[in-house]
């Protein structure tokens, strides 16, 4: 019980901790949603599951978005003859 009381006192005296945790949660959530949406659109089930399971403060979704997520190239439309 003493540990719980200490934690309550710490959070009560340090409001900034709550705001930092809230911002980190929001940051991770935004990156996760966008990366999962793109992985689903690209039919990449493995990446979708990995991003859904692992909480990495947005690092794994950023890696996916920057390194892995490549738009499939579409062949250029041929002009009508």
For residue 61, being part of any structural domain is answered with yes
For residue 55, being part of any structural domain is answered with yes
Give the number of domains in the chain. 1
Per-residue confidence (pLDDT) for residue 36, from 0 to 100: 93
In angstroms, rounded to a whole number, what is the distance separating the alpha carbons of residues 22 and 30? 12
For residue 36, being part of any structural domain is answered with yes
Give the model confidence (pLDDT) of 28-75 as tens digits: 899 999 999 999 999 999 999 998 888 787 888 888 888 887 765 555
For residue 33, being part of any structural domain is answered with yes
pTM of model > 0.85: no
Give me the DSSP letters along 3-60: HHHHHHHHHHH-HHHHHHHHHHHHHHHHHHHHHHHHHHHTT-HHHHHHHHH---TTHH
Does 1 have pLDDT greater than 90? no
Domain that holds residue 45: 15-67
In angstroms, rounded to a whole number, what is the distance separating the alpha carbons of residues 50 and 36? 9
In angstroms, rounded to a whole number, what is the distance separating the alpha carbons of residues 45 and 16? 38
What's the token pair of residue 49? 């599951």
């Amino acid at each position: 019980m003493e540990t719980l009381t200490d934690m309550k006192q710490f959070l009560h005296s340090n409001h900034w901790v709550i705001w930092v945790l809230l911002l980190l949660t929001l940051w991770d959530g935004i990156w996760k949603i966008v990366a999962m949406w793109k992985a689903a659109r690209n039919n990449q089930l493995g990446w979708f599951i990995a991003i859904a399971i692992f909480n990495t403060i947005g690092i794994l979704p950023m890696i996916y978005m920057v390194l892995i997520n490549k738009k499939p190239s579409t062949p250029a439309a041929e002009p009508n003859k």
